[in-house]
Structure formats: structure tokens, C-alpha cells
A and B are shown apart, each in its own frame.
Chain A
């Protein structure tokens, strides 16, 4: 069945770089796009960016200067890297499958990231 699972450090120092991995199963990254979405505690989600099925990428303009999304199709993994982290980057980070509905039909369980010294 379709599954996505995020992994990465739970604590990041201010000004450091966040690196997250989304490992997928049950579908191919060359057939489906994957988006990253984050959510501060108690607030609505924020779409960060997308790895298209054809390898192209798209980013939220508010984060574009700090964000990079890549993939390794042989390992069924999508990567997120975001630099210059600040405390307001604290939240839960999700990856979600984007089957061209314009919506995420399957979501990972999320990984909680805290930016703090």
C-alpha cells in the first residue's frame, strides 16, 4: 500500500541547515509528484515545495531562497534541505503524494522539528 515516511533531526540550531528525507513505498516517484508541507503548532499548514514526477521542482516563493528539494528514485526518497533556520521554522514537516489532483492524497506521519539553541 501507499506509504510515506519522513525522517530527520528533531532539533536544529538557529542558523543551521535542516535536512529531511521522505521515503516512499507503494508508488513510483517517476509517476507521482511529492510535496513538502509544514505546520507550526496550532496553525494551518504551509506548502513548501514540490518534486514533480519528471524531476522538475517548484517552490513557495517565500522560502525559495533557502529551500532545495531533490530525489533519489533508486532509493524511493525525496529530500528537503532548508538553510538559515530560525525559531519560526519550528513545526511539523510532512511529505505528501500529489497525484495531479492538486491535493495531497497520502501523507506521512510527519516529523517534528524544533529550532532552538
Chain B
């Protein structure tokens, strides 16, 4: 299975940029498709899709969220960070399916 590695936590100040990284154990790109996706999860809630296929904003997601990357290295950027963005963020790959696999999550905290 493809293993996704995320840093456990990131501290950021409100109004600043947050950059959350995800590294895959092998490439998750096929042709022009980068099969990496990002979710936000707040305590007691289900995951919410933010970004699909590395850089596409999901429906209803604010433009301060963006995604980039290809191959094995991907980034979720939040700029500027707002109080409502304090949550845990997960990357997920679908290059190898089954199974989808998820990263361990990055907890975004206030500095």
C-alpha cells in the first residue's frame, strides 16, 4: 500500500499562511492526473473534502485554500488562516485503489 506521511502538527498565527505537506511512498500521479486529495476534520465531525486531484477546489470551499504538487510531494496551503480553519488536515491518495490510503493527519494549531 502507498504510505502517506504528514507532520503531526503545525502552529500558525491568524492571518498568516499555513503550508501543510504530504509525502507519498511512491508516485500518485498518472499522466496528467495527480491523485492526491485533502480533507479538513474538526473534532466530532466527519471529514470534509477541500481539494481533489491535488489542485481542484471542492464545491463550496473558500479560495483561501489551495493545493499543489505532483509525483510524491504535495502541499495544502491556507492563506490567510482564519480561526475557523483550526482543525486536522488529512491527505488521501487514490492512485492505488484499492485501497485508498490516508495520511496520519496534521493538526493546525494557533501560535
Contact = CB atoms under 8 A, between A and B. Distances in A.
Contacts of A50: 98
Contact of B53 (A44, A101, A107): A101
Contacts of A60: 98-99
A109 B45 CA distance: 7
Contacts of B93: 102
Contacts, number: 63
Interface residues of A, number: 24
Q: Which of A47, A49, A101, A102 has the most CB of B within 10 A?
A: A102
Interface stretch (B12-20, B69-77, B78-86, B100-108): B100-108
Contacts of A94: 46-47
Contact of B102 (A44, A58, A62, A109): A44
B94 interface: yes
Nearest to A59: B98
Interface of A: 35, 37, 43-47, 49-50, 58-62, 94, 101-105, 107-110
